[in-house]
Structure 1
Amino acid sequence: MNLRRLFSLSNITTAIMVLFLILVWVNPSVKAGVMQGLMKVGLFQPGMPEEVSPENNLAPDMAFTDGEGKTFTLSSLRGKVVFLNFWATWCPPCRAEMPSINALYERFREDKNVIFLTVDTDGNYKKASSFLKRQQYSLPLYVADSEIPRELLGRSIPTTVIINKKGQIAYRHEGAADYGNERFMSYFEKYIRK
């Protein structure tokens, strides 16, 4: 009789839910998958400010290095729109937004007025590159070759920054967001065409 009560439908359902929550809590891939699902239903949409205030918003300079050891600075990219994303392989929100960033990149990768910088905050190019290849993302990968200014990366990752052609911070968002939706792509294209 007690055995029947122990294996009741409600107890089994509760046990499954608890196991699912534990799995989501401890496994970054599962957590990222749940967040991707929430993005698809409209949560985690990036806010989009209309205009940039020209005062005090010049992006601070910093240096980046690619996989071949080539180093360049943010200031050397003036005249282009820069999509800058700070992330790490161990970060579930970073992993969750990566497919949408890859979709945005695929849409604008041929545009000579745009450069995409995905920056591994751990500075481990080999590990980050391996992760991108396993996930079949074609995103260009960099590591910081100087200190990352607080204006670009605050206290959390992922952080995404768009820098306009004048070198001004046009957009900054901390946390996961869906950058692959049409609304954001149109917003991004507005900066490219200016």
Structure 2
Amino acid sequence: MKIFKNQWSNIIMVIIILAMIIPGTRKPIAVFVNKLISFSPSVTSEEERPKIASYNWVLEKNNKDRVEFSDHKGRVVLVNFWATWCPPCIAEMPSFQKLYEDYSDRVDFFFVSNEDHQTVRNFMNRKNFTLPAYRPKSELPEPLNSNTLPTTYLIDKQGNIVIEKVGSAAWDSEKTRKTLDELLAK
């Protein structure tokens, strides 16, 4: 009986290794693992919050409309840098979709990718996401530059970065919703 158990554990281990080696299954497994380990993002203490000094940033919407980030000064803004090929980015998208559905009328959302519009549009359609996708057309404002995907910033009405999260997170958490509600009430 003990030999039988050892054989099963070896078979399961081989299946897991094969699943990670085969390119078609690697990405879905990575997305699943990222969803499992994603937690609610932490709020930065008030004394340590960086401030956006300049809102001079031009973006292009998926329909090619030009958008000035400065038009959103004085509002609560969420900026997410992501890519369609990034498993942690994909893992957090469903939680962003839920948050967007509940807060899109009060919070300005920017999902920014350097990929071409058609690639992003195809991804959004395939996953049934309605998130507003943008492409940067000018240099980023100073505190928003990160070389890691995904990176997300939650900015208050005064331009302070309340949350700076590198890596995936559970954005549809009660903690995040409470933070958004507090920022909107100010």
Pick the TM interval, shorter chain.
0.7 to 0.9
Judged with a 3 Å threshold, the aligned counterparts in structure 2 of structure 1 residues 86 and 93 are, in CA distance, closer, same or farther, namely same
Partner of 1:70: 65
Partner of 2:110: 117
- Say which of 174, 181, 184 aligns to 2:173: 181
Q: With the length of structure 2 as denominator, give the TM-score of the two structures.
A: 0.85
Judged with a 3 Å threshold, the aligned counterparts in structure 2 of structure 1 residues 94 and 10 are, in CA distance, closer, same or farther, namely same
1:70 CA displacement: 1.2
Secondary structure of the equivalent of 1:151?
helix
Q: State how far apart, in whole Å, the 2-side matches of 1:31 and 1:81 are.
A: 31
Whether the 8 Å CA contact 1:65–1:143 is kept in 2: the answer is: yes
Greater Cα shift, 129-138 or 20-29? 20-29
Q: State how far apart, in whole Å, the 1-side matches of 2:146 and 2:119 are.
A: 23
The answer to which structure has the higher helix fraction is 2
Secondary structure of the equivalent of 2:144?
coil
Q: State how far apart, in whole Å, the 1-side matches of 2:20 and 2:185 are.
A: 41
Q: State how far apart, in whole Å, the 1-side matches of 2:141 and 2:51 are.
A: 13
How big is each residue's C-alpha offset from its partner over 1:30-86, in whole Å with a ceiling of 9 and x where there is no partner? 2112221333xxxx33112242657x6225432111022211222221121111000
Report how many aligned residue pairs link the two structures: 181
1:101 CA displacement: 0.8
Whether the 8 Å CA contact 1:64–1:143 is kept in 2: the answer is: yes
Q: State how far apart, in whole Å, the 1-side matches of 2:130 and 2:4 are.
A: 49
Whether the 8 Å CA contact 1:123–1:144 is kept in 2: the answer is: no
Whether the 8 Å CA contact 1:65–1:145 is kept in 2: the answer is: yes
- Say which of 63, 85, 95 aligns to 2:80: 85
How big is each residue's C-alpha offset from its partner over 1:141-189, in whole Å with a ceiling of 9 and x where there is no partner? 1111113356213121100011221233222111111010111111122
Q: Which runs of 5+ in 1 are unaligned?
A: 1-6
Partner of 1:3: none
Q: With the length of structure 1 as denominator, give the TM-score of the two structures.
A: 0.82
Whether the 8 Å CA contact 2:52–2:143 is kept in 1: the answer is: no
Secondary structure of the equivalent of 2:143?
coil
Secondary structure of the equivalent of 1:147?
coil
Secondary structure of the equivalent of 2:92?
helix
Q: Read off the aligned partner of 1:58 and give its amino acid letter.
A: I
1:107 CA displacement: 1.1
User: Taking every aligned residue pair, what percent have the same amino acid on both sides?
Assistant: 29
Whether the 8 Å CA contact 1:100–1:178 is kept in 2: the answer is: yes
Q: Read off the aligned partner of 1:67 and give its amino acid letter.
A: N
